[in-house]
């Protein structure tokens, strides 16, 4: 997509003055990168992104100048040309510089109205490092390959600006040595964050919601994007539904990914047990956490309906435990969600999801006829997911649990000879871990082995759970035309293929290649 844009631009400007056309092209590319980073962060608390201004100066690389509205990011042509020298990584390099200044834009508390200067640190070293980490991680989520080029880019910039030999740190200009140390540190930190983020998504797909939530929470210390808050909220809600083997929830909720596990649990009204008081308290705590983080995500983007759909579902779940809690139907009316859906031009799928959430809200507040009407209208929907939920919930409303709803998935047979790297699961313990989540004192250690990465979690009871992850690059050999046979969970760049019988999960990209395989082990 980006390359097409570049080709089109080159052609458009091939007959005009080259220098001028290059500036126009730089401007368009820089604005596109800014837009991509802004959207990846997903916060519209400051709805107008800063402007981009390219200048023919050579003194600061880049700067962010705040004003009453949104301010501007100044980019020096010399710095852009350094990025150009990175060839295919040109945009990823530019994303680093723009990302750093955008980090200052969002960090309003530490940035009260003065101009920053990329070469001269205008904030403390810690804050500058924070802006680097923010920018590189945001670039990763916007699909730029920035993380691997940071130290080389810093070196190329210092060379171009003749700063390699500068020895003193007068007036806030860090030396090359200091800047290079920071770049190394930033690279390591972001690589760790990316690993934790990818692991959190895997854990989420596998149904390890508590560990997934702890991982997303850790990321929030460095990067407060809307997607992270939303994932965190959804994981707490899923933990509330799934933490026990008891199945107390009659209906399916829009955010449920792994329907299979829950359907296999005995239902409360079919011989299942009720929750104990302690379990009820834990469930309520998880739902409150879910609501808290979903509300933050919702405030970041008023035009994003998913958070509201998820909040309504959480409120519906709360109704069993708390009669005085906010009524989900009242929430729907107060937030005027139907109006919002029309106003933002929501897709049919999103509107149907909103209807599903409303039906749940009706069902949980005693308006069963209204719920039935909605589910009836959605039971022949073109989306399999919507159709499935509507049909399932209609049956649940009538307390008609047909076994035909139980899906049993095949475990794909993929022959991979994975080197064990000396891991004996029951002997593993944390040696050099760090606290992932202080709420439940989850400890984490990431160990780089010869062929794999071992990620070890330990909770406050000392229970150990680990994931061993092998990066591979192999075409998927099973027939995906029979999707119903396999359990698939979508992720941002493809899908996961779950094979819970063999404790394995395959990460498949959109080109149909297995990019990684993870195996998990529990040792009690
Ligand atoms: Zn800065």
Q: What is the mean pLDDT of residues 241-263?
A: 73
Residue 219 Cα to ligand 1 midpoint, Å, equals 21
Per-residue pLDDT tens over the stretch 286-311: 999 999 999 999 888 877 788 899 99
The pLDDT of residue 170: 61
pLDDT above 80 for 503: yes
pLDDT above 70 for 492: no
**Cα–Cα separations (whole angstroms), residue 500 to 12, 464, 488, 496:** 53, 18, 11, 12
Percent of the chain with pLDDT over 70: 88
pLDDT above 50 for 245: yes
Residue 24 Cα to ligand 1 midpoint, Å, equals 25
**Cα–Cα separations (whole angstroms), residue 68 to 117, 225, 332:** 19, 23, 34
Kindly indicate the confidence band of residue 54, based on its pLDDT and cuts at 50, 70 and 90: very high
SS3 string, 271-298, reads CCCCCCHHHHHHHHHHHHHHHHHHHHHH
The pLDDT of residue 376: 95
Residue 369 burial class via C-beta count within 10 angstroms: exposed 0-12, middle 13-18, buried 19 and up: exposed
Helices (H), 117-175: 125-141, 150-160
The pLDDT of residue 264: 52
Residue 61 Cα to ligand 1 midpoint, Å, equals 10
Residue 90 Cα to ligand 1 midpoint, Å, equals 20
The pLDDT of residue 326: 92
Kindly indicate the confidence band of residue 2, based on its pLDDT and cuts at 50, 70 and 90: very low
Residue 122 Cα to ligand 1 midpoint, Å, equals 6
Percent of the chain with pLDDT over 90: 45
Q: What is the mean pLDDT of residues 492-499?
A: 81
Per-residue pLDDT tens over the stretch 197-208: 999 988 988 888
The pLDDT of residue 282: 93
* CATH architecture of the domain formed by 225-405: Alpha Horseshoe (1.25)
Kindly indicate the confidence band of residue 113, based on its pLDDT and cuts at 50, 70 and 90: low
Residue 259 Cα to ligand 1 midpoint, Å, equals 46
Structure-token match 């090359």, residue found: 176
- Give dist(CA 245, CA 234) in Å, integer: 19
Residue 116 Cα to ligand 1 midpoint, Å, equals 6
Residue 66 Cα to ligand 1 midpoint, Å, equals 13
Residue 43 Cα to ligand 1 midpoint, Å, equals 20
Residue 343 Cα to ligand 1 midpoint, Å, equals 38
CA dihedral sign of residues 153, 154, 155, 159? positive
Report yes or no: 352 and 386 within 8 Å, Cβ to Cβ: yes
Q: What is the mean pLDDT of residues 332-348?
A: 90
Residue 439 Cα to ligand 1 midpoint, Å, equals 32
Report yes or no: 222 and 193 within 8 Å, Cβ to Cβ: yes
Residue 55 Cα to ligand 1 midpoint, Å, equals 18
**DSSP class of residue 502?**
G
Residue 101 Cα to ligand 1 midpoint, Å, equals 6
The pLDDT of residue 511: 84
Pick from 6-20, 49-63, 379-393: least confident: 6-20
Kindly indicate the confidence band of residue 281, based on its pLDDT and cuts at 50, 70 and 90: very high
Residue 190 Cα to ligand 1 midpoint, Å, equals 17
Q: What is the mean pLDDT of residues 142-161?
A: 94
> Domain limits of the chain?
31-174, 225-405, 425-523
Residue 111 Cα to ligand 1 midpoint, Å, equals 10
Kindly indicate the confidence band of residue 400, based on its pLDDT and cuts at 50, 70 and 90: low
Kindly indicate the confidence band of residue 389, based on its pLDDT and cuts at 50, 70 and 90: confident
Q: What is the mean pLDDT of residues 512-523?
A: 87
The pLDDT of residue 304: 77
Per-residue pLDDT tens over the stretch 210-228: 889 999 999 999 999 988 9
pLDDT above 50 for 3: no
- Give dist(CA 356, CA 339) in Å, integer: 16
Which of 254 and 452 is assigned the larger pLDDT?
A: 452
Residue 3 Cα to ligand 1 midpoint, Å, equals 29
Residue 438 Cα to ligand 1 midpoint, Å, equals 30
Residue 123 Cα to ligand 1 midpoint, Å, equals 7
Q: What is the mean pLDDT of residues 374-379?
A: 94
Per-residue pLDDT tens over the stretch 94-107: 999 999 999 988 88
Which of 116 and 444 is assigned the larger pLDDT?
A: 444
Residue 8 Cα to ligand 1 midpoint, Å, equals 33
The pLDDT of residue 414: 80
Which of 121 and 523 is assigned the larger pLDDT?
A: 121
The pLDDT of residue 160: 94
| Mean of pLDDT over the chain | 85
Residue 117 Cα to ligand 1 midpoint, Å, equals 6
Angle at 156 between CA 110 and CA 158, to 5 degrees: 60
**Ramachandran sector of residue 488 (left: φ over 0; alpha: ψ -120 to 50; beta: rest):** beta
pLDDT above 90 for 462: no
Per-residue pLDDT tens over the stretch 260-280: 555 555 555 555 568 899 999
- Give dist(CA 127, CA 107) in Å, integer: 9
Which of 226 and 480 is assigned the larger pLDDT?
A: 226
**Cα–Cα separations (whole angstroms), residue 466 to 30, 198, 414:** 41, 14, 22
Residue 130 Cα to ligand 1 midpoint, Å, equals 9
Pick from 61-70, 177-186, 410-419, 479-488: least confident: 479-488
pLDDT above 50 for 391: yes
Number of C-beta neighbours around residue 216 at 10 A: 27
Residue 22 Cα to ligand 1 midpoint, Å, equals 26
- Give dist(CA 309, CA 234) in Å, integer: 11
Q: What is the mean pLDDT of residues 416-438?
A: 85
Picking from 106, 117, 110, 6, the residue whose alpha carbon sits closest to that of residue 55 is 117
Q: What is the mean pLDDT of residues 175-195?
A: 93
Kindly indicate the confidence band of residue 110, based on its pLDDT and cuts at 50, 70 and 90: low
């Amino acid at each position: 997509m980006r390359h097409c844009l570049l080709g089109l631009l080159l052609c458009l400007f091939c007959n005009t003055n080259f220098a001028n056309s290059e500036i126009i092209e730089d401007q368009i590319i820089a604005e596109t990168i800014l837009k991509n980073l802004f959207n990846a962060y997903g916060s519209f608390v400051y709805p107008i992104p800063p402007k981009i201004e390219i200048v023919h100066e050579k003194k600061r690389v880049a700067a962010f100048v705040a004003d009453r509205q949104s301010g501007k990011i100044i980019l020096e042509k010399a710095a852009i040309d350094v990025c150009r020298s990175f060839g295919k990584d040109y945009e990823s390099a530019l994303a680093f510089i723009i990302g750093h200044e955008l980090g200052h834009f969002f960090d309003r508390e530490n940035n009260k109205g003065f101009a920053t200067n990329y070469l001269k640190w205008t904030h403390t070293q810690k804050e500058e490092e924070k802006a680097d980490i923010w920018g590189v991680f945001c670039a990763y989520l916007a699909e730029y390959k920035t993380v691997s080029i940071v130290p080389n880019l810093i070196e190329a910039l210092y060379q171009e600006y003749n700063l390699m030999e500068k020895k003193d740190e007068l007036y806030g200009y860090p030396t090359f040595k200091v800047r290079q140390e920071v770049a190394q540190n930033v690279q390591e930190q972001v690589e760790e964050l990316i690993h934790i983020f990818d692991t959190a998504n895997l854990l989420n797909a596998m149904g390890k919601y508590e560990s997934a939530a702890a991982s997303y929470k850790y990321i929030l210390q460095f990067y407060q994007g809307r997607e992270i808050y939303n994932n965190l909220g959804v994981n707490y809600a899923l933990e509330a539904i799934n933490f026990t083997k008891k199945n107390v929830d009659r209906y399916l909720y829009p955010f449920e990914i792994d329907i299979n596990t829950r359907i296999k649990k005995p239902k409360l009204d079919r011989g299942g047990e009720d929750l104990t008081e302690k379990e009820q308290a834990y469930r309520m705590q998880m739902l409150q956490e879910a609501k808290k983080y979903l509300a933050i995500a919702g405030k970041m983007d008023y035009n994003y309906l998913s958070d509201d759909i998820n909040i309504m579902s959480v409120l519906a779940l709360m109704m069993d435990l708390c009669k005085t809690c906010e009524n989900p139907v009242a929430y729907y009316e107060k937030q005027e969600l139907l109006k919002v859906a029309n106003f933002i031009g929501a897709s049919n799928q999103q509107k149907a999801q909103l209807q599903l959430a409303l039906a749940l809200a009706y069902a949980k507040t005693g308006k069963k006829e209204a719920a039935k009407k909605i589910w009836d209208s959605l039971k022949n929907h073109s989306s399999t997911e919507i159709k499935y939920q509507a049909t399932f919930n209609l049956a649940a409303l009538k307390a008609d649990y047909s076994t035909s709803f139980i899906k049993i998935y095949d475990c794909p047979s993929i022959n991979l000879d994975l080197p064990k790297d000396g891991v004996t699961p029951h002997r593993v313990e944390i040696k050099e871990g760090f606290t992932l989540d202080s709420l439940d004192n989850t400890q984490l250690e990431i160990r780089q082995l010869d062929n794999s990465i071992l990620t070890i979690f330990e909770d406050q009871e000392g229970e150990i759970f680990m994931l061993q992850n092998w990066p591979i690059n192999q075409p998927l050999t099973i027939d995906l035309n029979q999707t119903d046979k396999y359990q698939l969970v979508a992720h941002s760049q493809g899908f996961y293929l779950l094979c819970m019988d063999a404790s394995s999960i395959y990460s498949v990209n959109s080109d149909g290649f297995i990019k990684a395989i993870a195996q998990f082990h529990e040792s009690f």
